[in-house]
Amino acid sequence: MIFVTIGTQAPFDRFIKIVDEIAANLKEEIIAQTYKSQYQAKNIKTVDFLAPDEFNKLFKEARMIVAHAGMGTIISAMQQQKPIIVFPRIAALGEHRNEHQMATAKRMKELGYVHVAFNEKELKNLLLSKDITCLHKLSDSASQSLIDSLSDFIKQTK
């Protein structure tokens, strides 16, 4: 199953419509959290809002996450070692207040942390690809080198 999420701040109909159209070519269930969407999907199951426990259950069960460029979603995918495709909102299209999602997506792609699609063609290619994997794993705890570095710093300040 593929889980699609757009967050809960504003609808993202352009994205949901693109995923819905691509889903016609996939033989896999897609469940999308669509928050106040006006678009009526034909090929994917949509849910307007999910309680945190329901959201977490779908996120955990999903083979892959497809999402807006929200850092909470990106971090969760890396922590759970889920492949994620990020499709940023575009402020110039009225999808957000500013272009921070575009900046986030560009930086995450530069770092090699997530798969990023900036347009419909790129999203389709990634969704139809058979070899999408988790590009970066994130631990729930700090690395030993960070802990050692902080310990050394604290000792030096005493």
- Domains located in the chain, CATH noted: 2-157 (3.40.50.2000)
> CA-to-CA distance for 82 and 64, rounded, in angstroms?
6
pLDDT at 13: 94
pLDDT at 93: 83
35: left (phi over 0), alpha (psi -120 to 50) or beta: left
pLDDT at 47: 93
Give the predicted TM-score (pTM) of the model: 0.87
Percent of the chain past pLDDT 70, that is, above it, reads: 100
Adjacency order of strands within the sheet including 115-116: 45-47, 30-33, 2-5, 64-67, 84-86, 115-116
pLDDT band at 124 (very low <50, low <70, confident <90, very high): very high
Sign of CA dihedral 50, 9, 43, 62: negative
Percent of the chain past pLDDT 90, that is, above it, reads: 72
Quick: pLDDT tens for 12-67. Answer: 999 999 999 999 999 899 999 999 999 999 999 999 999 999 999 999 999 999 99
Select the more confidently predicted residue: 112 or 146: 112
The DSSP 8-state label assigned to residue 93 in this structure reads G
CA Rg value for the chain = 17
Q: What does the mean pLDDT of the chain come to?
A: 92
Mean pLDDT score, 116-140:
93
Which residues share a beta bridge with 33? Answer: 5, 47
Quick: pLDDT tens for 60-90. Answer: 999 999 999 999 999 999 999 999 999 999 9
